[in-house]
Chains A and B, each alone.
Chain A
Amino acid sequence: MDTFLHLINGGAGNLAAYLAAHVLLCLLPAFFIAGAMAALIPKASITRWLGRNTSYRVSYPAAAAAGSLLAVCSCTIVPLFAGIYKKGAGLGPAVTFLFFAPAGNVLALAYTGSILGAEFAFARFLLCLLFGIGIGLLMAMLFWRDDARHDAQTDALFAEQARIGTAATGVLLSLVAVLIAGTLKVSPLSATVASVTLPLPGAEAWQATLFDWVPFDAAKGEEGVSVQGSLLIGLLLLIGGAAWKGLENIVEGANRWTWATLGLAAATLLVAAARLTPQADGLDVAITGRVLAVAAALWAVLHQARRLAADAWQAWLWESWRFVKQIFVLLVVGVFVVGVVRQLIQPAWIQDLAGTNSLLANAVAVVFGVFMYFPTLVEVPVARMFLDLGMHRGPLLAYLMADPELSLQSILMVAAVIGRRKTAAYVSLVAVFSVTAGLLYGAWVDGVNPVWIAAGLLAFLGVLAALLAVLLRRRSSPAPA
């Protein structure tokens, strides 16, 4: 019984710490950005570069851009993948799109950055981009005959042209400014501009109660819940309640609850940006530079959003709310389970298996990623757990590259569209590339001379370029009967 309580406590503590510390300044704006991308960026502004007659110099980067800007959920990923493959630029760009989408979208980037660090998010982004294009090129080369066999179907699906409106661009840029102002760790943002002490004598006792409820151990990477954190969790619950009434039917128009939701969301971001410290006689509220920066960015969002047409901002709010409903619930459950599991795993096991940046460690990480299936974004807190338990960052990246790309769901989906033979090739390529990415990033973390890493990367790219040349020569020669 004691063990059971201990496990539940571990899960709840992990969840509370996440909600309080990590989620708000990154995930709240990220959900709004993802919603804005889904609703305000016309798909045709990118898909017009994915037609059948587009040069590969344009179609591969465009496929990566589509993965990054258009694809946050499977509603877009599957049809767009099938469309690019069957009616558009072909197998290569379709695979690039498929590989890059889980790592390059704004939710994944923001979440990875806030939980595992900006450098890690950047490495994940860059390596997924390079290797996504690499895997796409390789697949196109391996199966060039299938692509050549595609008859001259019209690519009317990709002919439509569209531009992103100026108001939509303004909204997107100001939302990104909120995200950056909220998460960037630089001195003008974390410096205290002014501070007041609120006469709340119970604050210190409340903090003691919180630490009693959620015991924490910095050595094990566990975090407690602060007074500020508890306030933020309360605000989050309020937002959830108000959003249910205000956003569920937003397509038909806004109501009072809609404005309440938005007001609460803004208030939550501002509270999260401040620094609250309980004292003996009250609660110290430090107004940081971050509060001012977030406030300015929020004002810019409001200013830009007022220029949007009614159906545009309603669609934006609906898409954001939909992502919250779809992803956040799974994330909450996932983080809880991770907290429980962490109590059961001995750090020594992880350190023995994947404590160093060896080929074996990277391969083990990839195999684990293939066989475990986690819902969208839950792979990130899982990765954090492994990091805290002593996993090397190289294999960790290999795992993070393999897991979302090669879940059972995505393998079945790919197989349904392109067939088993191509899927098998895709899966093996992803495994090889993920191990390579882990080794390269691990070497970088270990402080290996950057020249060597660059040389390794260049050699890898050189091989790809050579393969591409072969592909082009084959394409220009007539296909054998």
Chain B
Amino acid sequence: MKTVKILGSGCANCRKLEAVAREAATAAGVAADFVKVTDMKAIMAYDLLSTPGLVIDDKLVSSGRIPTQAEIRQWLSA
């Protein structure tokens, strides 16, 4: 079971990132728990300079952009 966190205050990019990540998890057949982090202080605990951020198992894998499905599948299976 992987934990996937979406960091962002609810802007368009965060919603898009969540959709892409969910699709990637389904496509890769990985069971994942999705958590949305909207609190600014919790977000700033990670080292990022712009949202949306994607955290997989407490490791920040991307920030400030929307990765492709293929990239997320790779991170999920790593």
Interface of chain B residues 43 through 58 with chain A (CB within 8 A):
43-44, 47-52
- Determine whether the beta carbon of A75 is less than 8 Å from that of B49: no
For the complex, give the distance between the alpha carbons of A186 and B29 in Å. 61
Which residues of chain B are within 8 angstroms of A75 by Cβ–Cβ distance? Answer: 8-9, 11, 13-14, 50-52, 64
* A417 interface residue per 8 A CB criterion: yes
**Chain A residues whose C-beta falls within 8 Å of the C-beta of B16 in the assembled complex:** 322
Determine if A74 is an interface residue (Cβ-Cβ < 8 Å): yes
Given contacts A83-B49, A252-B69, contact A76 B64 (CB under 8 A): yes
Interface flag for A199 (CB, 8 Å)? no
Chain B min CB distance to A258 (Å): 16
- Say if the beta carbon of A386 comes within 8 Å of chain B: no
Cα–Cα distance between A416 and B40 once the two chains are bound (Å)? 8
Task: For the complex formed, measure the closest distance between the CB of A87 and the CB atoms of chain B, giving whole angstroms.
Answer: 8
Tell me which residues from 83 to 107 in chain A have a Cβ below 8 Å from any Cβ of chain B. 83, 86-87
Interface string of B14-47 (1 = CB under 8 A from A): 1010001000000000000000000011011001
Residue B2 is within 8 A (CB to CB) of chain A in the complex: no
**Which of A74, A79, A252 is B49 in contact with, Cβ under 8 Å?**
A79
| Interface assignment of B3: CB less than 8 Å from any CB of chain A | no
Complex contact B11–A251 (CB within 8 A): no
Give the complex CA separation of A64 and B35 in angstroms. 34
In the complex, whether B78 has a CB less than 8 A from a CB of chain A is no
Q: What residues on B are CB-neighbors of A301 within 8 Å?
A: none
Q: Given the complex, which residues of A lie within 8 Å of B51, measured CB to CB?
A: 75-76, 78-79
Given the known interface contacts A79-B49, A157-B49, A318-B66, the answer about A417 and B40 at a Cβ–Cβ threshold of 8 Å is: yes
Tell which of A43, A86, A325 touches B12, judged by Cβ atoms closer than 8 Å.
A325
Which listed residue, A73, A82, A87, A322, touches B40 by the CB 8 Å rule?
Answer: A82
Chain A residue at minimal CB-CB distance from B43: A79
By a CB distance below 8 angstroms, the chain A residues around B65 are 39, 315
Of chain A, the residue at the smallest CB distance from B50 is: A76
Q: List 16 A-B contacts (CB under 8 A).
A: A43-B64, A73-B11, A74-B9, A75-B52, A78-B9, A79-B43, A79-B51, A82-B44, A83-B49, A86-B44, A87-B47, A251-B20, A315-B66, A322-B12, A322-B13, A416-B41
